[in-house]
Amino acid sequence: MKRIVIFASGNGSNAENLIKHFNSTKTAIVTQVLTNNPNAGVLNRAKNLNVSALSFNTIAFNKTNDVLNFLKTNNTDLIILAGFLWKFPIHIIEAYPNKIINIHPALLPKYGGKGMYGKHVHDAVLKNKEKETGITIHHVTKNYDEGEIIFQASCKINANDDAKAIAAKIHKLEMTHFPKVVDALLPKL
């Protein structure tokens, strides 16, 4: 059984969805949730699902090997970024080549990069009068949102959609596709 660690910064709905999915399969288990935000909702979601959850600071993440050593001690097979807002450090990326994936709320390469997350993405999509948007699941590299694309799914944008309506459509795509895409990746690890 593969061992997954999820990194998240916020509410944690994607993390919860992944935990529930893998609790019902024999393919993998989410062993840990890690966050850079000690007040993140994901901590309570993980606790309610009996998954260990810890927060860390920028020193442990970027300046030392504390987080990396934790991942190794945990025998981590796959790292999933689910609403994690910090740039991933190169020393962890190099230790887990092609074993760190992210979900992005747009059809990359459009609307990616530093500062492009959540409502910022949806506002940019609206401002540019896009006809569709979607999600991208991709490998993590040293640059924001530039890793190899694993999967994309799209949805139409209606004339009366606002950022909240787009966010709801994106959320639905994430809930539907993210666990399935991760499942399909597991045999390749």
By C-alpha distance, which of 41, 3, 9, 40 is closest to 22?
Answer: 3
Each residue's pLDDT tens digit, 78-121: 999 999 999 999 999 999 999 999 999 999 999 999 999 999 99
Annotated catalytic residue within 21, 104, 122, 138: 104
Domains in the chain, CATH or no CATH each: 2-188 (3.40.50.170)
Q: How far apart are CA 32 and CA 46, in angstroms?
A: 8
pLDDT in tens, 23-51: 999 899 999 999 999 999 999 999 999 99
The answer to whether 177 is a known catalytic residue is no
Mean pLDDT (the chain, rounded): 97
- Report pLDDT for 26: 87
